[in-house]
Chains A and B, each alone.
Chain A
Amino acid sequence: MRAEVLKGHLDALLLATLAAGPRHGYAIKEALRAGSGGRFDLPTGTVYPALHRLERAGLIRGTWSTVNGRRRRSYELTPSGRRALSDERSSWQEFSAAVTALLGSAPWPATT
């Protein structure tokens, strides 16, 4: 699935990958790919800028550690991020229910 399809939803999806606990950038990208059954397979390099943006917005917090002799930055949700994720989930459920009601049913009868 192309990256443009995710536009507008990427932030919520990235927050969702951190709901279970901290992850580093590549693990977040892999969680996104695995969680979507391979459908959301973004260029890995473009996931990192989105994480930086979420961090600047105060929704996630990054911390450095050293693993295998190299620096690693891991991210976790902040309280604001948890609230934002909860809001996004509610909005999505409402939206998807409405879209499913419209698109998932038989064709509408003509009203001429």
Chain B
Amino acid sequence: MAGDDVSHDPADRDAVEGYLAAVAARLTGPAAVRAAIADELRDGLLEALAAEWARGCSHQQAARAAIEEFGDPRTVAAAFAPELGAVQARRAALGLLVTGPLVGLAWIAAVAVNALPPWRHELTGPWLALPLVGLALVVAGPALGLTVATTGRLGGRLGRRATFPPAAAAVAGLAAVAADLTLLAIVTGQALTSPAPQVWGPLVLAAAASLTRGALAGRAARRCLAARAALR
């Protein structure tokens, strides 16, 4: 078993940290997950190092053998890519599932309080673009459902390709961005072309919610696409 003397040797530590840095540089995904992977690999490497040392290797030989035993950093990072892609996709999907209803409720409240055209069952002026939001939801809904299903416990049994979850989550994220941008464009058009609404508070709140969610969804989609690219 590894002891403190092994992990405290500067040359060993440098070799281990150098290897971990080479793996980490090739990992995508949430920072906390990548840090946990590095911790786990570090423990394993130090165990391997101690085992080599116990066999009579010098420190330098032991470090080289342990690192060879772990495998090429590119191979190790590539082996982690499907899991990291799944984690990234699931986080993005769950985030969208939580924020989606909140943003939706904020907009419904703003429309209702101001009795805007959709509340009167009319689609006039800038509100003619509202069906685009519905289209985005039609795209995002199944994409989110499939992402959650394929990244959960049943994921392995569903037999999807590893690239599917991050791709589906990216589609859902981009659809959310499209919905938010459409809503923001509609409310801007409303403000510029129609009589000013009487109650600004809910509209500002809904617009702020869409701006925030849109930015987060865009970032999540970008990260999912990066995770998918790492799987190629």
Contacts and interface: CB of A to CB of B under 8 A. Distances in A.
Interface of A: 24-27, 29-30, 43-46, 48-50, 52-53, 56-58, 67-73
A29 B76 CA distance: 14
B7 interface: yes
B37 A46 contact: no
A53 B83 contact: yes
Contacts of A25: 40, 43-44
A70 B75 contact: no
A27 B48 CA distance: 9
A46 B43 contact: no
A45 B71 contact: yes
Contact residues of A: prevailing secondary structure: helix
Contacts of B153: 56-58
Given A53-B156, A56-B86, A26 B48 contact: yes
A25 B23 CA distance: 17
Given A49-B82, A56-B83, A68-B7, A26 B47 contact: yes
A26 B44 contact: yes
Contacts of A67: 43
B79 A45 contact: yes
B17 interface: no
Given A49-B82, A69-B7, A70-B42, A44 B155 contact: no
A68 B48 contact: no
Interface string B145-162: 000000111011100000
Nearest to B83: A52
Given A48-B40, A53-B83, A53-B156, A68 B70 contact: no
